[in-house]
Structure 1
């Protein structure tokens, strides 16, 4: 009887798996490899990360005129000019809006919700592009207690606001593009943005003569 019990205990011991000893050096090596790979991936991401918005390439305008004047302005002067332009442009329009410069560019307007006008403030960071146009990147929105996304407000602006034909709204990218290469004054002069620094209140633009006037002036000088 005792012999049977001993044989039974031996068979049970054989069935039990002996736990393997953990190789601590191997685990430490794998952890170190994981940290190294993660660090390399993080550095690569930061190096390749674009800090400015991805600009949509604008068609190159036929600007063969000659820059005749560099205009340096401040925010108050530009705001007065914008206010004068929009007052004339929006005459007779049922929907009014304002655009002016503070430490950011600011679009102020209203839209209707269930028949009630709701006021909003949309803030932008302005960027001067290589072609002299200005891109406005929407950064924040103030609209009371409503939680509407910026893209929906820009869709409303694109659909319902009367905008100059040289202003392009891209809700999908939260952008507004001021196509100065398509803006012309009545006398044919056009402008090109050179610098916009709202914090230091430094705004610079070049004034260009149209190509035909430039050629005429050159012939008269000859």
Structure 2
């Protein structure tokens, strides 16, 4: 009888792959995922004056700022990431800080959604206090798609499925 290695992960998502082609599993770290995500966010928001950054530590954070009545308020939202069956990343809101103001999480997400022209691959759902990072909709080179397989922040182990169509 054999047992799988300690870091074995079952990739059942491969069975439900939406793109035909060859799929590779890419292991990455929090720091690398953060860098990649911010590259695509900045590319999608190149003409936007409002900064938006994603950071990955013990949770996933989105930071931006909002100017209200000539006062710039920093906004920091922290989320718990969950891999969805379709390979997208669901971010469930854990906390929110809007300067020194006490604003409910739903209101902060409404502000983000209504004040910032977000990339198409970021969907903000204030009522559910969630943001979906639609990895499957990030504009990549023709024939390439990406999905999340696992997102283990505690062990700094993020696994992405990259499919290259023939």
Q: Shorter chain as normaliser: what TM range?
A: 0.7 to 0.9
Q: Among residues 135, 141, 144, which one is paired with 2:96 in the alignment?
A: 141
**Which secondary structure state, in structure 2, belongs to the residue aligned with residue 172 of structure 1?**
helix
Paired residues of 2:98 and 2:108 also in contact (CA < 8 A): no
Q: TM-score, normalised by structure 1?
A: 0.63
In structure 1, list runs of 5 or more residues that go unmatched: 1-60, 214-222
The Cα shift of 1:114 comes to 2.1
Paired residues of 1:67 and 1:206 also in contact (CA < 8 A): no
Higher normalized strand content (fraction of residues): 2
Q: TM-score, normalised by structure 2?
A: 0.83
- 2-side partners of 1:154 and 1:78: how far apart? 23
Q: Assess, with a 3 A threshold, how the Cα gap between structure 1 residues 107 and 203 changes in structure 2: closer, same or farther.
A: same
- 2-side partners of 1:64 and 1:96: how far apart? 33
Runs (4+) of structure 1 exceeding 3 A deviation are none
**Which secondary structure state, in structure 2, belongs to the residue aligned with residue 196 of structure 1?**
strand
In structure 2, list runs of 5 or more residues that go unmatched: 1-15
Paired residues of 1:125 and 1:137 also in contact (CA < 8 A): yes
The Cα shift of 1:67 comes to 4.0
**Which secondary structure state, in structure 1, belongs to the residue aligned with residue 87 of structure 2?**
coil
| 1:140-179 C-alpha deviation (Å, 9 max, x unpaired) | 1123421111111111111121222122111000011122
- 1-side partners of 2:159 and 2:111: how far apart? 31
**2:74 is the counterpart of 1:122:** no
Paired residues of 2:45 and 2:119 also in contact (CA < 8 A): no
The Cα shift of 1:85 comes to 2.2
| 1:116-151 C-alpha deviation (Å, 9 max, x unpaired) | 001021000000011211100011112342111111
Report how many aligned residue pairs link the two structures: 151
Q: Among residues 119, 127, 150, which one is paired with 1:195 in the alignment?
A: 150
**Which secondary structure state, in structure 2, belongs to the residue aligned with residue 109 of structure 1?**
strand
- 1-side partners of 2:87 and 2:46: how far apart? 29
- 1-side partners of 2:149 and 2:31: how far apart? 18
Q: Among residues 111, 114, 125, which one is paired with 1:159 in the alignment?
A: 114
**2:105 is the counterpart of 1:150:** yes
1:200-211 alignment, distance < 5 Å: 200-210=155-165
The Cα shift of 1:62 comes to 8.0
